[in-house]
Amino acid sequence: MMGVFLDELGPFKESLRFFENAARLCPGDRTTLELRQLLAVPIVFSSQNDMDLALCPEQAAYLQYTITPPTMFIGYQGIDVLPIQRAIHRLRSLVYPSLSSSFEPQNPGEIWSDDAHRRRRVAFISSWLRAHSVGKLLLGVVQNLDRAKFHVVIYHCVHFLRDADEITELFKHTADEFVELPENQDTAVQILRQAHLDIVIFPELGMDEWTVLLSHHRVAPVQCAFWGHPITTGNPQIDYFLSSEHFVSEQFDEPTESTPRKLSGFRRSSFSEQVVLFRGLSTIFTEPKTLAAESREITRSRLFLPTNRRLYVCPQTLMKLHPAFDDALAGTLSRDDKAIIVLLASDTQLVWMEKLRRRFRLRFGPNTRRVLFLPTLPFAEFQALLTLADVVLDPFPFGGGVTTLDALHLGM
C-alpha cells in the first residue's frame, strides 16, 4: 500500500522501491506486484522530453520483453495510444492465462432479429457509481432508458471501494436490478455469464485494473466502452466505443499522424473498437446543485485572491496540464500584465505541484509568480471560484469533462 500511496503523492522512484521490496517479501503476489511496478508511469512530468522518453509508442512492439505505462494516465498525453493499449492487452493475456476463458454467447444479430417484443437485457458495469464524474454522467442515461425496450442491470464493482452516497442510492432505485459483484473475478464472470445479458457497457474502462481485467472476458454478445475514460481499450472483446460527434474534430476520419509522439487528438483509426458517435452528448448530465446563497456571498478576498487582477481559472486536475498547454499559459501571462493563473491542487498533490512549479519557472520565467495554487475546495466554494473567474480555461490536448459541464452550468 505504501507504493500506491507514494505513487499518488508524487515520489515516483520511491514508490517503485516499495513495489520491488513487496515482490521480494511476498512471493505469492510476486507476479502482480512486479507487473504493477513495471507498468508504473509518472503522473506529472517535468518536461516534454521526459514525457517522450516514458511514452515512446515504439516500446509497444517489445512488450513481450518490457512494459509501457498503465492506461489511466497515458490518455492525458494526447498521442495515439492504440499500439500501447493493444500491446498491454497482449501482455495481460500472457501473464494471466485465465483471461482467455472461452464463452460463446448468441450471435449479436440475433439480439434484434428474435422476438421484437422482448426487453433486451442491458448491463452497466462500473466501480464509480457515486458522486464521481462517471456516476454523474451515467445516472441520467440509466434513468431515461426506455423500460419497455430494455431491462437495465447495474453491476457495482466493490473490489476496492464500498463507499455509497445519494448517487449510489439513485442507481439502486432506478435500475431493474442492482448487483454487487464479488471481488473474485472468476465468480464475477460466472455471475455475468449466467445473467444472459444482451449488451454490456463499461462506462470507464482504464480507471481501475479490476474492471480492465474483467473486460477481457466475453460475457455478452455486444460489449461497449463509454467515454468515462475516453481512450481506446485495445481490447478485442470490446466491440463499440460510445462517444459524441461534439467530442471529435474535423480530422477525426483522417489517418493518424505518422509522427508517433505528435499530438494527434481523437482519430477513428486510433480506436480498436467501432466508434459510435451520438448526435447529442451521449449523456444526460446529472445537474449540479444550484449556486447556494452561501456561495454567492464568497468573495475573492475570502479565497485569498487579488481583487484588482484578471483571474484565469483552470479548475482541472493537475495531471491534465500537458507541457504543450504551458505555451498557452505563457502567452496569456505575457500578453495580459494583469493576468493571474489560478490552479487547484489537493493536499495529496504537493509533489505534483512542486514539479509543475519547476516546469513553469523554466517556461514562464518571472511571470511564474502570477501562477497561484489554491487547495481543492468544497463544492460550494468551487462554484464560487468559477463565478469569480474572468476566464475559465480548458486544457489541451485532454480537456475537461464533468468539471467543464459544471462551469457551463453556471453560465461560464
Cα 134 to Cα 132: distance, rounded to the nearest angstrom? 5
Of 368, 363, 324, 362, the C-alpha closest to 343 is: 368
Structural contact between residues 101 and 75, judged by C-beta atoms closer than 8 angstroms: no
- Give the C-alpha separation, 197 to 220, whole Å: 5
For the domain spanning 293-409, the CATH number is 3.40.50.2000
Predicted pLDDT at 98: 74
Q: What are phi and psi of 175, to 5 degrees?
A: -80, 150
Largest CA distance in the chain: 70
Edge-to-edge strands, sheet with 120-126: 177-181, 150-157, 120-126, 199-202, 222-226, 240-244, 274-278
For the chain, what are the domain ranges? 1-40, 43-286, 293-409
Do residues 300 and 309 make contact, with C-beta atoms less than 8 angstroms apart? no
Contacts of residue 293, defined as CB under 8 A and 6 or more positions apart, other chains included, come to none
pLDDT of residue 131: 80
Note whether 195 and 220 are within 8 A (CB). Answer: no
pLDDT of residue 69: 38
Provide the pLDDT for residue 27: 76
Distance linking the first and last C-alpha atoms of the chain: 40
Shared fold status for 43-286 and 293-409? yes
The three-state secondary structure class of 39 is coil
Q: What is the DSSP letter of 370?
A: G
Q: Rounded to an integer, what distance in angstroms lies between the CA atom of residue 385 and that of residue 203?
A: 29
Residue with cell 462500473: 126
Put the strands of the sheet holding 391-392 in their side by side order.
371-375, 339-345, 310-314, 391-392
* pTM (2 d.p.): 0.78
Note the pLDDT of residue 65: 34
Say how many C-beta atoms besides its own lie within 10 A of residue 335's C-beta.
8
The residue type of 17 is: R
State the DSSP string of 65-131.
TS----HHHHGGG-S--HHHHHHHHHHHHHH-GGGG-------TTHHHHS-TTSPEEEEEEES--SS
The 10s digit of each residue's pLDDT in 168-211 is 899 999 999 999 999 888 899 999 999 999 999 999 888 887 88
| CATH code of the domain occupying 43-286 | 3.40.50.11380
Q: Which residues of the chain have pLDDT under 70?
A: 1-12, 19, 29-43, 51-71, 97, 106-116, 160-161, 256-265, 292
Q: Would you put residue 358 in left (φ > 0), alpha (ψ -120 to 50) or beta?
A: alpha
